[in-house]
Amino acid sequence: MNYVYSTLSSTNVYPVYKKEASGNSTSLRDIRINGGANVLQKVDGALITPKGAVTPVSDEDLESLQKDPTFRLHMQNGYITIDRKDKSINKAIETMEKRDNSTPYTAEDMKNPSLRKNKTFQKELKDAKE
């Protein structure tokens, strides 16, 4: 068994295709990799914000994932890593990127002067107040 560790905020689905002789591609299956890092969740009545997620995958699925260009890009950017053993999320994500661009803003973000000058941030802040 293999374990895919993710610090992406969203769960991602990576499709597996088979190339037909005609040149068309047929979808065989989808491989779902859990996300949810830095997103507030309700678990057993408590509110938590996980730092990462883990998804067990078979050898066959891992081979397919490693051929997927989006999965490879997520790995190159430090949001996904693979291990053959299950370990704690905190240990797995020590050297990974901690936040992607879809991570919700925190109270600390609101204090950051460079972020407050960002036009996208200003628009999102304005929209949230309306």
Successive 10-residue mean pLDDT values, the chain, 130 residues: 95 93 91 93 84 95 96 96 91 87 74 66 66
Residues 87-121 have pLDDT tens digits of: 988 899 888 988 887 777 777 777 776 665 666 66
> Residues 85, 111: one domain?
no
Q: Look at the chain and report how many structural domains it folds into.
A: 2
The candidate with the shortest Cα–Cα distance to 5, out of 65, 69, 68, is 65
> Residues 37, 82: one domain?
yes
**Percentage of the residues of the chain whose pLDDT score is greater than 90:** 47
- What the block records as the tokens of 61 is 């699925």
> Residues 30, 42: one domain?
yes
The candidate with the shortest Cα–Cα distance to 6, out of 47, 50, 42, is 50
| pLDDT at 31 (0 to 100) | 98
Q: What domain range is 116 assigned to?
A: 100-130
pTM to 2 decimal places? 0.78
